[in-house]
Each structure stands twice: as C-alpha cells, then as structure tokens.
Amino acid sequence: MSNATPAAARAAALDERHGLPGVLRFCEGPGGLLLAEVSNAQARATICLQGAQLTHWQPRGQAEPVLWLSDAARYLEGKSVRGGIPVCWPWFGTPAGRPQGPAHGFARNHPWEVVATGARPDGSTGLRLQLDDNPATRALWPGAFALSLDIVVGATLDLELCTRNTGSVELHVTEALHTYFRIGDIAAVAVRGLEGVDYFDAAAHAAGAAPVDCRQQGPVRFDGEVDRVYASGGPCWIDDPLLRRRLHVSATGSASTVVWNPSAAKAHRLGDMGDDGWRRMLCVESGNARDSGVSVAPGGTHRLEVRYRVAPWSDADASAAT
C-alpha cells in the first residue's frame, strides 16, 4: 500500500502525463501545494499550480534569482504566496462595490489545470495552465471565462495571460502580473522608462494626502513607501548597481505599470515579508489597472504579454546614473 500523500499522488499523475524527463517535473511542495519545477540549459524556474504563480526564475549565469520570494512566505491552500509573480485577475486591488472580496481577485488563490507542456526548439520550456469558471469563482464573480497563462522559461521569461469570454455577457476586468523582483537594496535602485508619465499615487491617497495625480520627474527612486499606478504599459527597466544587472520589462496588451515597495512600517504590518525583506524586493507590474480595465465581448479574447530579460550592469551604466 502506497504511503504517498494525495498531493504527491496528483504530482505523480501530472508527471506521467505532462512531465519532461530531465527538464520538467511535478512535485508536492510546502503546505501540500503542487509545484512544477523546470531546469533546462538556459534557466531554472518553479511554478506553483495554485494561482499559476511563478515563485522562482534564475537564468544560468545569474548568481541571484530574478524573482524575490519572502523568507517568511506562507504556503496555504487558498492563499497567494508572498513573492514571485501572482496573477491579479479579474480585478486589481479591491473589487468595486465589494470590499469583502479577495484583494487582487481570485485567480491567484485557486488551483489551475495543466493543459500542455513542451520542449521548444530554442531550448526553452513551455507550460500552459488554465482556470475556468466554476461554482467557487461564480460565487465571487458571475463571469463565464477561460483564463490561461502561457509560460516560457528560458534565457528570457515570457508570460501570456489570455482572457477568453465563454459567456453571453461582456466581461470587464482589471488585471496585473504582480512581479516581485529581487534587488540588492531598495535605496540603491532606480526604475527608468517612466519619465514624464502620469501616475496615481495610491500611498498618498490611502494617507489622505495630496496630490494623488502626479507626473513622474526623472527616474523612480525610493526613500519611503511607493505605490503608484502609471498610465503607461511601455517598456521600463530596473537599474540595480549592487547586483550589477539591469532588469528589463516589456509588455503588450498593457496600459498600466504599477511600481510598489511597502517600506518598513507597512511591510511589518503585512507580516509575511521577513526581516527587512522589503529592502530586497521591488514590484514592477504590467497590466490594466484602475481606469485602464479591458472589456471582452462574448466569444472574444484579450491577451496580456510580458517579457522579462536580464542585462549586465557596466561601469558606464554606473557613471550615467550618477
């Protein structure tokens, strides 16, 4: 008689159907959550099937992971893990008129199905995960949908979040790929590519301060809590002189970029960021937030595509940044 846990048995069944020997395997992770682990010639990655959440991506040759994962992360059924790339859908933030609904939607808290996996000709590895509407989702939101996430793990990380309206009523969604980047120190990094872009200052709004509608002057730097929704989905990048790398983010199907670091006081209130974890993380999130939500007609689709790329930091970059 097997002593395997139910999660281990499910992982074994997934391995038999979708595993790629020596490249992709499924296993039981902390808290009994199912994980997909990728290790190819270009990179390593881990995906939690609950929420279709990337928790690790590290291209070969990088001394540090590109994604930040909290040392105090909690692995619980029905809860998003602190770090990686949670999928915020079908709403970003708090749902309008329903403050009791789960923050950032339900997609990041529900188990997704593995639809397909495959080795690609360039040596990268692909996975497709899907979440369909079901009684649990309809109790929170009435939409009929098929939501898929295509993941390509290689020297770059490519994600495509596709919303398909399978019902007879138009869907309106706000969304984001809530990406936590691992950085050397929040005081040393800068986000570039958003200069001159208008943004909503959510931290100022929450504090009752003014102004809340602002325009970015120069690169984004950090000396306190930053929580901003920029009215641009264009390319941007993080300059990280301590880890000597530049993290590029480019998206299509995106009209918003969210930049977030909670600073010390809020990080302490969150309770799962670890000791000074906020210093080593920065969220730069591609999506369609606030007034940039998307409407999907019956039978229609909307695609949010993001590519993450790492480039080396040079002494010339350091001189230009001063």
Do 51 and 36 contact (CB within 8 A), yes or no? Answer: no
| The pair of three-digit structure tokens given for residue 248, joined into one six-digit string | 């590029």
The total number of structural domains in the chain stands at: 1
From the list 13, 44, 43, 18, the residue with the least C-alpha distance to 28 is 13
Report the residue count for the chain.
Answer: 322
pLDDT at position 315, please? 59
The CATH number of whichever domain residue 269 belongs to comes to 2.70.98.10
Q: What is the mean pLDDT of residues 272-287?
A: 96
Domain that holds residue 21: 6-321
Say if pTM beats, i.e. exceeds, 0.85.
Answer: yes
For residue 19, being part of any structural domain is answered with yes
Please say whether the beta carbons of 226 and 259 come within 8 A. Answer: yes
pLDDT in tens, 169-182: 999 999 999 999 99
User: Looking at 113-155, which runs of residues are DSSP E strands?
Assistant: 113-119, 125-132, 145-153
Find tokens 């709403």 and name the residue: 91
E-strand ranges in 49-103 read 53-59, 87-88
Per-residue model confidence (pLDDT) at position 1: 43
Contact 80, 103 (CB under 8 A): no
Tell me, yes or no, whether 1 lies in a domain. no
Beta bridge partners of 149: 129, 161
96-108 tens-digit pLDDT: 666 667 899 999 9
pLDDT (average), residues 62-75: 97
Transcribe 90-114 into DSSP letters. S-SSSPTT-TTSPTTBSGGGSB-EE
pLDDT at 318: 54
Gyration radius (Cα) of the chain, Å: 19
Catalytic residues: 178, 285
- Provide the pLDDT for residue 91: 96
Q: Is residue 110 a part of any domain in this protein? A: yes
The residue ranking higher by pLDDT, 43 or 99, is 43
Residue 79 lies in a domain: yes
